[in-house]
Structure 1
């Protein structure tokens, strides 16, 4: 499967390529990805094949100890899906946000994304809310939350 490591500014183009391959028209714009790298350098992960091909990424944000962390994106290119990489990235990011002081980690997921909701639930996230117009009318999202336990 390759390696998962913290991304650096040198990985910017790879992150953009992964995001576009995974989300198409719904990908973040380049400005947002550049800002995530600058703001959250300790919680942006890149997954690469053994040959250095970009396969996936996970981006999270955490501002202050005691405040919740946020999973901003977990993305895997279509050719690398179904191999556990999304799970590894989501788990690695959740643990990193906890290491940075987040006792809770939150994310939103599309109502129609049953696979994503199941993945996050299997990692200990639970649904704690729903916003019927998160991205505007007709774009419902579930809010999910992971809570650290002693020893995490």
Structure 2
């Protein structure tokens, strides 16, 4: 058993994971179920960017991706992978909301994304430890999976 599983902080991590999952599911399902696309004319300098994303279909892809990623977090499925993909979305949201259009609502959303995704990436950071190796050799994905499963059974 890992030290993180013994720590009382695991309950905070669980709560953050569930909150972030619900946040993503609500955002994505609002589009998927109700086909809701916000009025980007009130988004300030970010509006033309978001409108262009919607015009080419990228906004819609992100919304479906939010549903998938939120579901992964909710059901504890491949959480480290979901967080890495979510980080790309979060970086865009953080940049747009904190630096391009820093209205009070956007400041909250940008900080929320930064804190939630950042805290969860740190909490699951042990899974990314191998990414930080200085010297590496090629390792096929399937070999890495079998190596990781052997390491877990030894613990």
Shared fold by TM > 0.5? no
Q: TM-score, normalised by structure 1?
A: 0.34
- Higher-strand-fraction structure: 1
Q: Could you say which structure has the greater relative contact order, defined with CA pairs below 8 angstroms and 6 or more residues apart? A: 2
The structure having more radius of gyration, on CA atoms, is 2
